[in-house]
Amino acid sequence: MDLKLTQSTVNKTKQHIQTAQQWDVIVIGAGVVGCAIVRQLTLNGLKVLLLERGADILSGASKANSAILHTGFDAVANSLELECMRAGYKEYIEIRHKLNLPLLKTGALLVAWNEQQLSQLPSIVSKAHENGSDDVKQIDLPDLIKREPNLSNNALGAVEISQEYVIDPWSAPLAYVTQAAKAGAQYQFNCEVTDGEFDGKLWCLETTIDKYKAKLVINCSGNNGDIVQSICETPKFAIKPRKGQFIVFDKSAYGLVNSIILPVPTATTKGVVITKTIFGNLLLGPTAEEQQDRYDTSVDANILQNLFACGVKMLPDLEHHGITATYAGLRPATQFKDYQIEANPSKNWVGVNGIRSTGLTSALGIAKYVEKLCLENFADIVPFNNLKDIYWPQMPNLAAHKPRAFEIGDGTEIICHCEHVTRGQLESALKSEIAAKSVGGIRRRTRVMMGRCNGFYCSAKVSELTKGAISPPQDSDGGKND
């Protein structure tokens, strides 16, 4: 809806503002992008509030992705997406050690499986060089076989992207928002923004919990981006959720590939990827299915069977390894290929929308871009004052290739034997700066109940240890299990 500022509306808003709490900035949506923006603005000395409709950060689109740190080698040239990806990649590399964020240096191989795809490889290399990825090069079939001996005989050649890596998709945003909270940012979960009014100076947002007012609002609400944007203005875009289904193979499959195996992309999708995960599994996916439902993350047996067959066709040995889990994520795609990030100076609003599968990589870059928009459009109402003393939280390591708590020894017993999660890790997650308050939150922070038995052996003990501390096993997305 486009809000009309009639005198009665202004009077009503002023009445709300008398009782509402006030902030410099309210960020709507605690996905990876929202978490990064809260961090960036808080470290600039602003009073920031993060509102999230779910029970935890990453309750929406950000909780399900392929966890690849992209270089942007195949992004649209001169696009905002490419700019943010390159900036986000650079900053992640720069700060990851300070936050104890893991990086698995796999590199990637974009593989051609037929003559038509093979003929496209030179243009892919050329485009990568135009995008600043000078390390990208084409390799021949003998070199490909030497690097990836388990690939199908149908492979004909590949493009090497040496600086594409695998990262932890959940610890990074948790680090961003933890650092922000330590610097003074506040947050409210289970708090859906339902409406808002602007009196020319301040926003008053209506939520399912309370009313909150701020000088500036930043919309990072993912699959609800156009709905939330309508509080400020008629959206120039429409969110068209794109479902991606994944298969997680047992840890025995981890060594089948050495690199991230990428397909030759099409006009609509980057295609199905085979990659190690930071947690020691092998991941296959995603699919790409348009749908209207913004919350349906159910998986389809037939689609998963086809996905499995696609994986076996590329990597035949997959057929001999079990499946740990399947899941689906929704990407907040729009009718446009590029990100939809724009400031509305007359309404003290910034929309950060259409952030698709590259959001994990570009989040820090998007935060820098939003900072730039704030300086250009709102410097008089949200003056920046860089913090001198910055706290750098150390994230607990969940990466399989680095020492884990059970190996180092934290003095507590192992609760989840599939993923080697200790009682000490659970306890830490429940009392951390951004404490887990849901089943999904405790799983993402520790890996508990995410192994081969899917919690069959440890869920009772987990329930006992977390009793009263977390909500029932339902996520925000339409009440579906997380």
Class of domain 108-162+240-331: alpha beta
User: How many angstroms separate the CA atoms of 112 and 480, rounded?
Assistant: 38
Q: At residue 344, what are phi and psi to the nearest 5 degrees?
A: -115, 90
By the 8 A CB rule, do 178 and 290 touch? no
**Amino acid letter at 475?**
D
pLDDT for 269 equals: 67
Q: Tokens 């849901």 appear where?
A: 438
Which tens digits make up the pLDDT trace of 397-428? 999 999 999 999 888 999 999 999 999 999 99
Q: CA 99, 100, 101: angle at the middle one, nearest 5?
A: 90
Beta carbons of 237 and 353 less than 8 angstroms apart: yes
* Whole-number Å distance between alpha carbons of 138 and 111: 10
CB atoms closer than 10 angstroms to residue 117: 16
- How many other CB atoms are found less than 10 A from the CB of residue 188? 16
Two tokens at 73?
A: 């080698």
Is the peptide bond preceding residue 149 cis, with omega within 30 degrees of 0? no
Q: What contacts 139, CB < 8 A, 6 or more positions away? A: 109, 147, 157, 158, 159, 160
Could you give the CA distance from residue 429 to residue 411 in angstroms, rounded to a whole number?
A: 16
In angstroms, the CA 65 to CA 58 distance is 11
Left if phi > 0, otherwise alpha if psi is -120 to 50, otherwise beta: which for 393?
Answer: beta
Does residue 84 come out as left (phi exceeding 0), alpha (psi in the -120 to 50 range) or beta? alpha
Q: Which residues contact 369 (CB under 8 A, 6 or more apart)?
A: 80, 83, 84, 87, 341
Provide CATH 3.50.50.60 ranges for the chain: 1-104+167-238+335-396
Nearest-angstrom CA–CA distance, 440 and 55: 9
Per DSSP, 370 falls in state H
Q: How are beta strands 68-69 and 193-198 bridged, if at all?
A: unpaired
Sign of the torsion angle spanned by Cα atoms 418, 423, 427, 428: negative
Question: Which alpha helices (H) appear in 152-218, and where do they start and end?
Answer: 171-182
Going through 75-184 in order, the beta strands assigned E by DSSP cover: 103-104, 108-112, 137-139, 157-161, 165-167
3-state secondary structure of 186: strand
How far apart CA 229 and CA 144 sit, in angstroms, is 47
- For the residues of 263-297, what is the DSSP string, one character each? EPP-SS----EEEE-TTS-EEEE---EE-S-SS--
Give start-end residues of each CATH 3.30.9.10 domain in the chain. 108-162+240-331
Amino acid of residue 149: P
C-alpha 419/C-alpha 331 separation (Å) is 28
Q: Residues near 205 by Cβ (< 8 Å), separated by ≥ 6?
A: 26, 28, 51, 193, 195, 196, 211, 212, 213, 214, 217, 231
First to last CA, the chain: 31
- Report the pLDDT value the prediction gives residue 20, as an integer from 0 to 100: 55
The per-residue pLDDT string of the chain (482 residues; one tens digit each, 9 = 90 and over) reads 333 333 343 344 444 444 457 999 999 999 999 999 999 999 999 999 999 999 999 999 899 989 999 999 999 999 999 999 999 999 999 999 999 999 999 999 999 999 999 999 999 999 999 999 999 999 999 999 999 999 999 999 999 999 999 999 999 999 999 999 999 999 999 999 999 999 999 999 999 999 999 999 999 999 999 999 999 999 999 999 999 999 999 999 999 999 999 999 876 667 899 999 999 999 999 999 999 999 999 999 999 999 999 999 999 999 999 999 999 999 999 999 999 999 999 999 999 999 988 999 999 999 999 999 999 999 999 999 988 899 999 999 999 999 999 999 888 999 999 999 999 999 999 999 999 999 999 999 999 999 999 999 999 999 999 999 987 655 444 333 34
- Please check whether residue 168 is in contact with residue 399, taking contact to mean a CB–CB distance below 8 angstroms: yes
pTM beyond 0.75? yes
Rounded to the nearest angstrom, the gap between the alpha carbon of residue 54 and the centroid of all alpha carbons in its chain is 15
Closest CA to 361 of 130, 104, 88: 88
283 beta partners: 248, 275
Measured in residues, the chain has a length of 482
Q: What angle do CA 314, 118, 273 make, to 5 degrees?
A: 35
* CATH architecture of the domain formed by 1-104+167-238+335-396: 3-Layer(bba) Sandwich (3.50)
Percentages helix, strand, coil for the chain, rounded to the nearest 5? Answer: 35, 20, 45
Residue 206, strand partner residues:
195, 211
